[in-house]
Structure 1
Amino acid sequence: MEICKLKKLKTLAMDSNYLGGKIPSMMGNLSGLVYLTLYDNQLNGEIPKSIGELKMLQVFRVGGNKDLNGELPLEIGNCTSLLMLGLAETSITGNLPSSIGMLKRVQTIAIYTSLLSGSIPEEISNCSELQNLYLYQNSISGSIPRGIGQLNKLQSLLLWQNSLVGAIPDELGTCSELTVVDLSENLLTGSIPRSIGKLLKLQELQLSVNQLSGTIPSEILNCSELINLEIDNNAFSGEIPVDIGKLNSLTIFFAWQNKLTGNVPDSLSQCKDLQALDLSYNSLSGSIPKDIFGLKNLTKLLLLANDLSGFIPPEIGNCTSLYRLRLNGNRLAGTIPSEIGNLKGLNFVDLSENRFVGGIPLSISGCRNLEFLDLHSNGLAGSLPDTLPTSLQYVDISDNSLTGQLSHSIGSLSELNKLNLGKNRLSGQIPTEISSCSKLQLVNLGDNGFFGEIPKELGQIPALEISLNLSWNRFSGKIPSEFSGLTKLAILDLSHNKFSGKLDVLTSLQNLVSLNVSFNDFSGELPNSSFFRKLPLCDLESNKGLYISNGVVSSSDLEHSRHVGPAVKLVMSILISASVILVLLAIYALIRARFFNNGLMEDYTWEVTLYQKLDFSIDDIVHNLTSSNVIGTGSSGVVYRVTIPNGETLAVKKMWSSEEYGAFTSEIKTLGSIRHRNIVRLLGWGSNTNLKLLFYNYLPNGSLSSLIHSGGKGGADWEARYDIVLGIAHALTYLHHDCVPSILHGDVKAMNVLLGPCYEPYLADFGLAKVLNNNGDDNDKVSKSSPRPHLAGSYGYMAPEHATMRRITEKK
């Protein structure tokens, strides 16, 4: 390479291009080189050992070349003039070489989001000029070297998301220039050293997601410049220091998911700049200090799942910046103060599972940006306010003692997609204005005292596709013919009412997977379709006029069977059972013989569940799982394009192996229970001993990755890219904040964003997704003592809250 002959060359800046290939070994010939920047290209291969010949080199930056691999050569220690070493976002592997200690002038070492392993060498303590050490998002193990205390010019220490063990060294307290320390998402044990109080310039201390224990040391109050304190997801115990308000520059304090006891300190009200406070999932008791609600900058207050009592003080109306309020799962009582209506920016309110009484304050209509309102499982009484914020998307006031009628103003909630008013004492008729709630996906009015006929307008809500529950009321009359338009509806429960007429109107509901019409007065012949023929009799019983044609036993036969003599029934049961056994034995013998002849003694019994009506057999799917139909691969399986007999096209994911049970069940648990316009829709699944299949809507334009890497031909313009990013942001917001419990995707990347006919984005591949249960842990229930799971997610795309090779948690 000609450029390597320029021995007087001092600066070689070729960053942010499309350079490919390897870094030439002759690079060592550039003996006068001072600045070498090759970052953000497409370089591959290893860093040549000849790099050690560049004695004058001060800046070496080759980060952002994801295919740059191999170990950092030992010879790097010969670059004794080096001030900046940047290898971030590469595939550099192996240990950080001990020769790093020879770089006595180096000020910044940035090798983050790479594949480093092994321990941090003790020799790093010789880098006496080091100011910034960025080694986060690697697989570094071992303990933090005690010699790090000798780095008295160190300002930033970022080691998060590694596999570090052992205690935080006391010697860290001698690094008096430190401003940022992030050791989160490791396996650190022991307590916070009291020497931390010597770091008087410390602004950020992040120790989240470790195995730290002990109490929060009072010495931390000496860190008067502390802005960000995050110690969540550990095992800290004892009380929060009563004088924590001395940290009056604090803006973020996260201590959730610990074992903290005692009260929420009154002194927190002295932290005038506090923006986010999360003390959830502890054992805190006592009342919420009223002065906390005087914090004008507080946007997030999360105290859920504690043992708090008392009431919400009227001073909450002073907390005018509040955006997110979660106090659910405590023992709070009294009434919800009317002053909550002063919070114009409030977006998310969860006061569920407490002991609140009285009515829902009429002033809540003043929260004009409120989207999420959860008040379920309290003792609330009175009627539902006539006026609610029109911005509401989610309302759950179930399991209370509300009375009165559903107001006609319900139609003003045009953004509402989930309405749960079940288990109350509401009465009257469903107002026809509910049809204006055109985005409703789920409605639960069950277990109330509603009466009269179902308004035809309820059948005219096009988005109603998850569930409609009208059970345990006093509804009467026929099912409106307009219900035939609910073609997307998956679950319908009309049981325990006084409905009459025929069920024919429901035959067009092709997506139904669950129907309960028991304990009504339905009559006539049951619709002759596969779905109705497979309905359990318990979902049809106690409809005396309902019958099934062609001699099939009906629910009315159940009533008749109660009067048949026990002896006759016993004889019939024995005869039928014996006949069935003989037939099954014959069939088994034939099948066994056939399989032996073909050498196929395998289990091909299929279990199939569909979330919407689809007309195909499992053979239609399996016979099309050929290499010519492959349209992509994911982290857990290969995806096929399959056209079923009615001409409809599906995307079918076949898991890589039958052992991929975790990814298979993860997609079912998450996608099977949610609906969002920017999340791929799971249509159903099939499973046997050898194959596990997932059925999705087919999206014709491939993935975002293929779009943006299409070499310019047909690529997306910036406006389209913006719309795609915005759509995925909406999807993630829905998963993290609107789903209860929250869902963490775990592998968001361009390859997992699929594009519809008009390039609308859909988040896909939920094989690594985690559902947080109501104690804050993920659904794998990985404990601190349990074996650590395998590396999950795509390297370089993992979210900060998704730690490498350890349990996943939510940061609110």
Structure 2
Amino acid sequence: MPAQPTSRHRHLRRALALLFFLSLLSFSKSTDELQILLKFKANFEKSNTHVFDSWAPEQNTMCNFIGITCNSNQIVTEIDLPQQNLSGILQFDSICSLQSLEKLSLGSNFLYGSITEELSNCTNLQHLDLGFNHFAGKVPNLSSLSQLKFLNLNQSGFSRKFPWKSLENLTSLEFLSLGDNPFDRNQFPLEVLNLDKLYYLYLTNCSIEGTIPEGIGNLTLLQNLELSDNYLFGKIPQRITELKNLWQLELYNNELTGKFPVGFGNLTNLINFDCSNNSLEGDLSEIKHLSKIASLQLFVNGFSGEIPVEFGEFDSLKELSLYTNKLTGSLPPKIGSLSDFEFIDVSENFLTGPVPPDMCRNGKMTGFFILQNKFTGGLPENYANCSSLTRLRVNNNSLSGEIPTGIWSLPDLSIIDLTWNQFEGPVGSNIGQARSLAQLFLAHNRFSGELPVTISESTSLVDIELSSNKFSGEIPAKIGNLKRLSNLHLENNLVSGTIPSSLGSCVSLSDINLAGNSVSGEIPETIGSLRSLNSLNLSDNKLSGEIPVSLSSLRLSLLDLSNNRLTGHIPESLSIEAFKTGLIGNPGLCSEHLEHFRSCSSDSGKSGNFRTVISCFTAGLTVMLMSLACFIYVKYKLKNQDRPIKRHSSWDMKQFHVLSFSEEEVVDAINRENLIGKGGSGNVYRVRLGSGKQLAVKHIWKSDSGDRRSFRSSSSMLVKGNPRSPEYDAEVATLSSVRHVNVVKLYCSITSEDSNLLVYEYLPNGSLWDRLHSCQKITMDWEVRYEIAVGAARGLEYLHHGCDRPVIHRDVKTSNILLDAHMKPKIADFGLAKIVQENGVKDSSHIIAGTFGYIAPEYAYTCKVNEKSDVYSFGVVLMELVTGKRPVDPEFGENKDIVQWVCTEMRSRASLLHLVDTAISDPLKEDAARVLRIAIHCTMRNPSVRPSMRMVVQMLEEAEPYELTQIIVDEEGENSKN
């Protein structure tokens, strides 16, 4: 008889059964989680990443996947994949099925779409990082994520109203970063003040308004507090002085007023403090105890009084920006001498005394700006050894003496600005070693001597402005080596000799001013080859000879050759009223068209004799009769023909689409009757084919030295070699491979030895500029404008993200957005476009391309352009669509454009609705204001915080007008019934 099981045996069997059951359960759960992770991976199949190479089903365990962490039970607790080039939409319904998930870190990727309410199911999350992505829509309610300690949604693309109320439940938060998102405006969120475990709080640029509450003092553990770029006003609260753990405090770009609160100096752990661009006042005495400070930014405020001498004892100070205040007294003599000092800008104050000698003592200083003060004395000799210096600006002071020789040759120096001082002596011959020098501004001083010939070796020079000094001698003969030179100003000096013919090799020159010198000889013909030249002033010199015919080819806005010794015939294209005053003072000049100039024909009768006159009369009569006969014949044969283009026996046509027309049909229709527009690079004609189809044909100006105002019609003017221009090459390179409904279609190019034609689809509604601002303006409600905005954005998104190699347009503006018969937009005019090279190199040019009012601010001072420059320009276009205003208008105030105007108006009033064009109907003004917020995001001064065009498209789609949405829904419902 078998033995009966004991109680111990029974318990053991139950335990084994339970263990077996749990192992089966665990295995089942692991299998489920593996499927969830593989589904997660599938969402990012198009991502350019290798992170998922290890994510294979045959792996022994998913816990070996890169970026995955499991607990001891082989259950997933962390997904950690920041900066992995992930591109796709997050599916939170599956992610939150990982019930033990504590960390989800997907920051700095390319995630897009909206975040669904299923996020609320991730109740065990302690760490959530979705920052620096391209999401759209609103942030869902976060109340259920009560375990969160770390929350980063910074610059993630979210908009609309943030669920501030849900922060009440997140009392474990230690790190909170929500900045750089275009949320709806909201009063300072008091819910934040109860998160007393916070050590990091970043709410910069997320549309917070009102005053900073005194309750901020509750957050005593804070080490980092950033509330910049919002709509905050009033005083800095007194209780902020209780945050003694702060090492970084940033409050810039608000409307804060008043003085620093008493006791502010108790924040002795502060390392970085930025309160710039506010309306603060009072002195800086509360700052003098912040001995650990490394970066102090207080510029554009109303601070007064002296700079505390204690600043000279700060042994960690690296950056000091106090410009545009009302500070007086002198700079502390020891400032910067005890630290690795890098940057000082105290411009636009009332500072006096000498320049401190030791700011570059440790050889780290890069920026030196003390302009528009009352400093005296000279530049200390020590700065001649400051090889780290990149920018030196001391203009508009009372500085004097000679410049230390070594300064002229500092290797990294890009700008020397010494204008409006009392400096004297020569420019050092070692300036040729300054290979990074782009801007040399010495105007309005007492410099003398000859320009060193070595200046021609400083080949990075873009601007040379030496006016109103005592320079003498000749312009260096090899100045043509300066291929990047854009502006040359030597007016009001003692310069003599001739104008070097090599000046015509400075292919980037746009402005030449040599007025008020003693320059003699003839004007070089080579100046006429400067395609970019816009202003030429050679007045009040001793120039002789004739005006070169080559100047006729230039598109000059200013020509001043007055008060010289010029003789002969004024070229016909220069004989216009606009240039008349610029030609006076030359008694030897003659013209058949300008009043107060003698007639050129009167010269011929003074130098012959009677027999010569008779002979000429006879010969002339014969020629006249023959000419009359030819004229009658030609008029009869070519009646009504006014052809600005020469016929050729052969043309080179390159097709980019299937064509239903020939080159003859196009060429035969190019005449002045069909001229519909003129641009900077050529004329545009409308061609109507026999089939009734219409085309737009652009003739691109040639890159030769001839007349760009008309097409060639004489064989003597044919260009040898390749007549193509950079604009032509850019258009063809860009558009020949582009296929997008919102980019203008280039059918073909037609070239001959003297003509470049580009044949496009014809868009009957002209440009967006015409429809918004010109005499062809029409009434457009918001639905039409919105569709134009979205369509144009999609076109740019395709150029930036959809092409094999990204295309940067560089001249995005309303006149380059054309409208078809249905008001659908198409991006046009790619004459300035740049294709990003395969190695990812972007364009860097010292010639600013683009149109004033649309040019991104960084382009003006770095001469670098990338996709974010197009984003800025498109933001201006959005502002035009919403406000109806032009990008530059006198009503904005002096030196202000639409971006500055919008920002100013935003700060002065609570709502954006008052900025919306009155032509937009009231029910849609709120929708338009939402797009204005997107425009503001696009035009941020810092390019890195601007959205990509892909993100802009998503934001615009989220801002679709409600009425338009309803129309679409109704149409879809009607279609489903049918």
Q: What is the CA deviation profile of residues 746-801 of structure 1, one whole-angstrom value per residue up to 9, with x for unaligned ones?
A: 99537949xxxxxxxxx997957999999999973442316767235697996647
Structure 2 counterpart SS, 1:257: coil
Question: Residue 442 of structure 2 corresponds to which residue in structure 1?
Answer: 397
Q: Counterpart of 2:215?
A: 171
Q: Show CA shifts across 1:228-260 (max 9, x none).
A: 1111111111112x2534323322111111111
Instruction: Please tell me whether the aligned partners of residues 478 and 502 of structure 2 are also in contact (alpha carbons under 8 angstroms).
Output: yes
The one-letter code of the counterpart of 2:562 is S
Is 2:749 the counterpart of 1:749? no
Is the alpha carbon distance of 1:797 and 1:65 closer, same or farther for their aligned partners in structure 2, counting shifts above 3 Å? farther
CA distance in structure 1 between the partners assigned to 2:501 and 2:261 by the alignment: 64
Q: Decide whether aligned partners of structure 1 residues 382 and 777 sit closer, same or farther in structure 2, where only a CA change above 3 A counts.
A: farther
Q: Partner residue of 2:402?
A: 359
Cα deviation, 1:313-360, whole Å, max 9, x if unaligned, reads 334453632111111112222222223213121110011112222333
CA distance in 1, matches of 2:812, 2:104: 51
Alpha-carbon contact 1:746-1:798 (below 8 Å) kept: no
Task: Within 5 Å, give how 1:331-350 maps onto structure 2.
Answer: 331-350=374-393
Deviation at 1:311, TM superposition (A): 2.2
Partner of 2:487: 442
Give the AA of the match of 2:459: S
Amino acid aligned to 2:376: A
Deviation string, structure 1 residues 468-510 (Cα, Å, up to 9, x no partner): 2111212122123444554543332111212110113534754
1:81 aligns with 2:124: yes
**Mapping 1:351-750, distance limit 5 Å:** 351-365=394-408, 367-388=410-431, 390-391=434-435, 392-459=437-504, 461-504=505-548, 506-507=550-551, 510=554, 512-528=556-572, 530=573, 536-548=579-591, 551-553=592-594, 556-557=597-598, 610=680, 614=681, 616=683, 623-624=696-697, 646-648=754-756, 655-658=767-770, 697=831, 699=833, 703-704=835-836, 716=838, 720-721=839-840, 724-725=841-842, 727=844, 742=860, 748-749=866-867
Please say if residues 608 and 685 of structure 1, whose CA atoms lie closer than 8 Å, have aligned partners that are also in contact.
no
Which residue, 130, 137, 142 being the options, matches 2:180?
A: 137
Moved more, 355-364 or 497-506: 355-364
Alpha-carbon distance change, 555 to 473 in structure 1, aligned in 2, over 3 angstroms: farther
Q: 2:382 is matched by which residue type in structure 1?
A: E
Distance 1:102 1:237 in 2: 44
Name which of 197, 210, 229 aligns with 2:241: 197
Give the fraction of aligned pairs with identical amino acids, expressed as a percent. 22
Greater Cα shift, 227-236 or 334-343: 334-343
**Residue 375 of structure 1: how far off its partner (Å):** 0.9
Tell me: CA distance 1:275–1:195, structure 2 relative to 1, closer, same or farther (3 Å): same
Partner of 1:232: 276
CA separation of 1:226 and 1:313: change in aligned 2, threshold 3 A: closer
Q: Distance in 2 between matches of 1:10 and 1:685?
A: 52
Are the equivalent residues in 2 in contact too, given 1:317–1:341 (CA < 8 A)? no
SS in 2 for 1:94: coil
**Comparing 200-209 and 4-13, the one that deviates more:** 4-13
Instruction: In structure 1, list runs of 5 or more residues that go unmatched.
Output: 22-30, 560-603, 663-677, 708-715, 754-762, 806-812
> Which secondary structure does the structure 2 equivalent of 1:398 belong to?
coil
- Other structure's SS at 2:584 match: coil
Cα drift, residue 738 of structure 1: 14
- On the 8 A contact 1:537/1:555 being kept in 2, the answer is no
Q: What SS is found at the alignment partner of 2:347?
A: coil
The answer to whether the 8 A contact 2:228-2:253 is kept is yes
The 8 Å contact of residues 162 and 804 in structure 1, kept in 2 or not, is answered as no
1:314 has 2:357 as partner: yes
The structure 2 residue matched to 1:791, chosen from 919, 933, 941, is 933
Which amino acid in the other structure matches residue 19 of structure 1? Answer: F
Give the equivalent residue in structure 1 for 2:44.
Answer: 19
- Looking at structure 2, the residues matched to 123 and 439 of structure 1 have their Cα atoms a distance apart, in angstroms, of 57
Indicate conservation of the 8 Å contact 2:768/2:817, yes or no: no
- Structure 2 counterpart of 1:259, which letter? G
- Aligned length in residues: 694
Contact 1:275 1:299 in 2 (8 A): yes
Which structure has the larger Rg over C-alpha atoms? 2
Distance 1:644 1:394, change over 3 A: farther
Aligned amino acid, residue 780 of structure 1: Q
What letter matches 2:683 in structure 1? F
Picking from 900, 905, 908, the partner of 1:780 is: 900
- Residues 126 and 792 of structure 1, relative CA distance in 2, 3 Å threshold: closer
User: CA 1:482/1:41 → structure 2, altered by over 3 Å: closer, same or farther?
Assistant: closer
Task: Quote the Cα distance in structure 2 between the aligned partners of 1:696 and 1:377.
Answer: 41
1: CA distance between counterparts of 2:863 and 2:772? 17
Paired residue type of 1:749: E
CA distance in 2, matches of 1:546, 1:133: 75
- Distance across 1 between alignment mates of 2:261 and 2:596: 68
Structure 2 stretches of 5 or more lacking a match? 1-26, 47-73, 601-673, 688-693, 700-730, 775-806, 821-825, 880-886, 916-931, 948-978
8 Å contact kept, 1:316–1:339: no
Q: 1:45 to 1:314 in 2, by over 3 A?
A: closer
Q: Flag the 1:116–1:698 CA change in 2: closer, same or farther, 3 A.
A: closer
In 2: Cα distance, 1:238 partner to 1:521 partner: 61
Match of 2:614 in 1: none
Residue 300 of structure 2 is aligned to residue 257 of structure 1:
yes
TM-aligned CA deviation for residue 6 of structure 1? 5.4
- Provide TM-score, normalisation by structure 2: 0.61
- Does the CA-based 8 Å contact 2:552-2:571 persist in structure 1? no
Whether the aligned pair in 2 keeps the contact of 1:60 and 1:85 (CA below 8 Å) is yes
1:111 and 2:156 matched: no
CA–CA distance in structure 2, aligned partners of residues 767 and 394 of structure 1: 29
In the TM superposition, what is the alpha-carbon distance from 1:395 to its structure 2 partner? 0.2
Give the superposition deviation at 1:639. Answer: 5.7
User: Structure 1, residues 414-450: CA drift from partner, whole Å, max 9, x if none?
Assistant: 3322211112232232232434444433211112222
The answer on whether the counterparts of 1:746 and 1:802 sit within 8 Å (CA) in structure 2 is no
Cα displacement string for residues 621-643 of structure 1 (whole angstroms, at most 9, x for unaligned residues):
99348999977999xx9667596
Bigger proportion of residues as helix: 2
Q: Output the CA distance in 2 between the equivalents of 1:370 and 1:195.
A: 44
User: Could you tell me whether the CA contact under 8 Å between 1:157 and 1:181 is conserved in 2?
Assistant: yes
Letter in 2 for 1:312: V
2-structure distance, mates of 1:274, 1:125? 39
Change (3 A) 1:558 1:447: farther
RMSD: 5.0
What is the alpha-carbon distance in structure 1 between the residues aligned to residue 736 and residue 869 of structure 2? Answer: 12
Counterparts of 2:111 and 2:814 in 1: how far apart (Å)? Answer: 37
Judge conservation of contact 2:558–2:579 (CA < 8 Å) in 1.
Answer: no
**Contact preservation (8 Å) 1:300, 1:324:** yes
